[in-house]
Structure 1
Amino acid sequence: MSQACHCGRLDARGKPLAYAQCCERYLDHFDTTPAPDAESLVRSRYSAYVRENEAYLRATWHASRRPSRVRFDAGVKWLGLEVRQHRQTGEHSAEVEFIARCRSADGKATRMHELSRFVREEGRWYYVDGDWR
């Protein structure tokens, strides 16, 4: 049986999608297979955090806000992603509200609730920034 995707996306029958059928195509083939919408980008970026894929995270960060480096905290275990809502805010812009949960190496649980903003340029979606809730 294939590994369920980290992002938690479900198929039409309510079963978890396999990583190979979900975020893997975006992370492993960013040059040819960009995320088709802002929600898929949130999900694939979450998977990239789980897999500590700095190259994908930087590539999908808008150039105006892209950090020079993405740091990963040792021992963090990602526990799940919940996409609360997503909406187009313009022809080339969108927002996604999500909650990502993780546990630090010392066992402390964290819940990150964010309303993120995205832009589409030349057919690709990019994370711009977000407001913590």
Structure 2
Amino acid sequence: MNLQACPCGRCTAKGQAFALDHCCGPLHAGQAAPDAERLMRSRYSAFVLGDVAYLLATWHTNQRPAELTLDAGGKWLGLEIKQHRNTGEHTAEVEFVARFRVVGKAVRQHELSRFVREADRWFYVDGDVL
């Protein structure tokens, strides 16, 4: 059992970080995300952990790149979910800020991402950098 804190930063009501095994880990292992926010968090964790296969599998087929290469020199620093809202019966948006450092340079990615649910699974479609 892995008790390391989940990279997505999700916490209990008491402010304690969820363990990876009880947060994004089950989603990385194939469990369906219950909503778009949890999928977004699990995708952030996959970036932190270098899980390219998960990132591609959770990217909608209409927008999925043929391959994905992660920046090996990047260090992820944190995720903040600004807003999560359902935009329809099977669609949602998640506004987030992800912070990371690449070659000593701090980067802040503020994005409004769109998600769709098909066959009871959420997929990342695309997003607008804000």
**Mapping 1:93-108, distance limit 5 Å:** 93-104=91-102, 106-108=103-105
Moved over 3 A (4+): none
Deviation at 1:56, TM superposition (A): 0.4
Matched, 1:124 2:121: yes
Percentage of pairs with the same residue: 60
Q: CA RMSD in A?
A: 1.0
Match of 2:33 in 1: 35
CA distance in 1, matches of 2:82, 2:17: 17
Structure 2: runs of 5 or more not aligned: none
In structure 1, C-alpha distance between the alignment counterparts of 2:105 and 2:14, rounded to whole Å: 34
Compute the displacement of 1:22 (Å): 0.3
CA distance in 2, matches of 1:83, 1:49: 16
The 5-angstrom pairing of residues 40-119 of structure 1 reads 40-104=38-102, 106-119=103-116
Aligned residues: 129
SS in 1 for 2:87: strand
Query: How far apart, CA to CA, are the structure 2 residues paired with 1:18 and 1:74?
Result: 24
Residue 15 of structure 2 corresponds to which residue in structure 1?
A: 14
CA distance in 1, matches of 2:40, 2:69: 18
Using the size of structure 1 for normalisation, the TM-score is 0.94
Task: With the length of structure 2 as denominator, give the TM-score of the two structures.
Answer: 0.97
Give SS of 1:6's match: coil
Q: CA deviation at 1:20?
A: 0.8
Equivalent residue letter for 1:11: T
Helix, strand or coil for the counterpart of 1:90?
coil
Separation in 1, partners of 2:91, 2:3: 34
Which residue identity lines up with residue 23 of structure 1 in the other structure?
C
Cα distance in 1 for residues equivalent to 2:122 and 2:98: 20
Q: CA deviation at 1:13?
A: 1.2
Structure 1: 5+ residue runs without aligned partners?
none
